[in-house]
Structure 1
C-alpha cells in the first residue's frame, strides 16, 4: 500500500507539471521508477503506458475549450506516429547515455530560446500552412516522434515548441495538441511497441495511471486558467530542469 501511495504521488506531481508546461513528465516519473528498482527498459515501457493517462486527463479538460482543429490534429498523428514506432523499436538495443546528454543540451537550448524571445507563443498567428510548410513541419514532427519513442524525458516539450515556432500556435493551443495527441496516441504507440519488445510492471500501473489522469486534468486546468504567459514561464522552467536532469543523471 505504501508503494502504491508513493507511486501515485510521484505520478500526480510529474503529470501536473507536464500538463501545465506541455511536456516533461519523464523528468520526475521515469528516474523515480528506475530509482525504485526497475531496469531502464521496463521503467520506460511502464512510464509510457502511464503517460497515456496524462493525455486522457488533459484531453478531458482541453476538449471543453474546443481549440483543436481536426485536420491539423490528423497531420500531427500521421507525421509523428511512424517516428515513434521507429524510435521505440530501436531504443532497447542502443546505449542511452550519449543520447541523453545530447538531448539534455538540446532541451536546455529550447528553454533558453524561449526565454530570449519574450513574445514567442503569446499570440495565435498560424503560419507555414502551405505545401512546403507542411513538408518541413511534418519532417520536424517525424524526428520528434523518433525521440519520443526512444528517449521519453522531455520530448513533449520539443513538440510544443515546434508547434509554436513553425506553425505559429500560441502556447495554450500548442500544449493542448501536445497533451492530447502526443500524450494519448504517440505515447500509446510507444507503449505498445515497448510492451511487445520488452516488459511492463503491471502491478505498478494502477497508482501511476490514477496519478497521471488526475495530474493531467489539474495541470491542464491551471494552464487554461492562467493563459499563455504563465504557460510560457512553466515551459521554460521545465525545459531547463529536464535538460539538466538528462545531463547530470
Structure 2
C-alpha cells in the first residue's frame, strides 16, 4: 500500500468505527476501501473483521451504562451473537465469497424497513397478543434470530448491526438507546469470536488490520457518545436512510 492508501484505510477505520456505534453499517465503508487498495476479497473481509473489532470494544465501553441496565439481555446477546459467529466465520473460509452477494442488499433493505416500522409493529403485536407487560427478556424465538444474525456477522457482517437492531427492536420492548447499545455489543461479540478463528487459520493483511484498528477504536468510542445523544427518531431515521442507501449502492455496483 502507498502512503495515500494507508491514510485511506486509517480514515475508513475511523468512519466505520463511528458507524458501528451509531447506524450499524460499518463494513459497507471499510470493506470496499480494503478491496480498492488491492486486497483480495476474502483477505479484505477477514482483515476488516479483525481490524474493526476494537470499534466494537470501545463502542461497548462507551455504552456500558446502557448495557448494565439489562444484564440478562446483554448476556443473551453475547451468547447468541458469539455462537452464530463461529459458524459464520467458518463458512467464510469454506464457501465461495460470492454466496451471499446477491441476497445481502435485500437483507439490509428488509431490516431497514423493519427498523423504520418497529414502533408501530411492536405496538400492534402487543395489542393483538395480550401482552400488557413490557418484554424485557430475550425470548427463544428472538434468540434464534439473534444467532442467525451473529452467523451473518461472522460471515460478512455488512449491515449486521441494522439486522440486530431489527431483531431486538421487534423481540423486546427495550428503549431504542438500549437496543442501539446492544447492537454495538452484538457486533463486538461477533467480531471477537471471528477474530479468534481468523487469527488461527485465516490469511490477514496485518498492515490493514493495524490501520483499521487504530482508526476504529477511536471511532467506536466517539460513535457511542453520538448515538446516546441523538433522539431516537433521528437515529432511527438515519439508520433507515443510510441502510437503504448502502443497499442500493450494493445493488447497482
TM-score under structure 1 length normalisation: 0.87
- SS for the counterpart of 2:174 is coil
Residues 180-195 of structure 1 aligned to structure 2 (within 5 Å): 180=185, 182-195=186-199
Alignment CA distance shift 1:64-1:77 (3 Å): closer
Q: Distance in 1 between matches of 2:152 and 2:189?
A: 15
- What's 1:11 paired with? 13
Q: Distance in 1 between matches of 2:35 and 2:191?
A: 19
- Check whether the contact 2:56–2:184 (CA below 8 A) recurs between aligned residues: yes
Q: Distance in 2 between matches of 1:50 and 1:121?
A: 36
Residues 190-209 of structure 1 aligned to structure 2 (within 5 Å): 190-209=194-213
- What's 2:154 paired with? 149
Instruction: Give, in angstroms, the shift of residue 95 of structure 1.
Output: 2.8
- What's 2:128 paired with? none
Q: Residue 164 of structure 1 is aligned with which of 169, 184, 188?
A: 169
Uncovered stretches (5+) of structure 1, i.e. residues with no partner? none
Q: Which region of structure 1 is more displaced relative to structure 2, 51-60 or 1-10?
A: 1-10
Uncovered stretches (5+) of structure 2, i.e. residues with no partner? 124-132
Q: Distance in 1 between matches of 2:54 and 2:98?
A: 28
Q: Distance in 1 between matches of 2:189 and 2:116?
A: 29
TM-score under structure 2 length normalisation: 0.86
Deviations 1:66-88, CA, capped at 9 Å, x for gaps: 65422211111222222110111
Corresponding position: 1:135 with 2:135 = no
Q: Distance in 2 between matches of 1:116 and 1:144?
A: 19
Q: Distance in 1 between matches of 2:182 and 2:118?
A: 22
Alpha-carbon RMSD across the aligned residues, in angstroms, is 2.3
- Check whether the contact 2:84–2:154 (CA below 8 A) recurs between aligned residues: yes
- Check whether the contact 1:144–1:159 (CA below 8 A) recurs between aligned residues: yes
- SS for the counterpart of 1:99 is coil
- What's 2:225 paired with? 221
Instruction: Give, in angstroms, the shift of residue 3 of structure 1.
Output: 3.3
Instruction: Give, in angstroms, the shift of residue 58 of structure 1.
Output: 1.1
- Check whether the contact 2:18–2:219 (CA below 8 A) recurs between aligned residues: yes
